[in-house]
Structure 1
């Protein structure tokens, strides 16, 4: 088996999509926790957040092998006009 130090372009894009998806999962679970009153469901959502954060960390370590990377902005630029 050949050990490559970088990912192929299509692998990098798929990994980027997975990172975006997991980030949205964290956002949704965190936001919905404030609307949920059932403690069991809240605990389940918190577990999902923790597992998703771990998955993001794991994916980010693999993403470091991508041949191209753009810096992640600190916050979105507001759209004016």
Structure 2
């Protein structure tokens, strides 16, 4: 039986979504240092945590792409 794969345009769109989510994480992490309101900071941290989980889900789908760019097994150091 054939392994289901993504069409090339789906792979590119998924790649763009992964890039966007990664940039959102980086921005949220960097902006946390400028925020003094604890509720807002907690909300931003929740966004980072959920975005990391969403990236993991997207990476699992990206594994079905007929061609791939290397995907790191963990987020970039800026998210830590």
- TM (norm. structure 1) is 0.82
1:25 is matched with 24
2:53 is matched with 54
1:79 is matched with none
Residue 59 of structure 2 contacts residue 71 of structure 2 at CA under 8 Å; is this kept in 1? no
Q: Distance in 1 between matches of 2:5 and 2:56?
A: 18
After superposition, the C-alpha distances for 1:20-79 in whole angstroms (9 at most, x for unaligned) are 000001000000001100000000000000010010000000000000012258x9xxxx
5+ residue gaps in structure 2? Answer: none
Whose radius of gyration is greater, 1 or 2? 1
Q: How far 1:5 sits from its partner (Å)?
A: 1.3
Return structure 1 stretches of 4+ with deviation > 6 angstroms.
Answer: none
Give the CA RMSD over aligned residues: 1.9
1:11 is matched with 10
- Structure number with the higher helix fraction is 2
Report the number of matched residues: 72
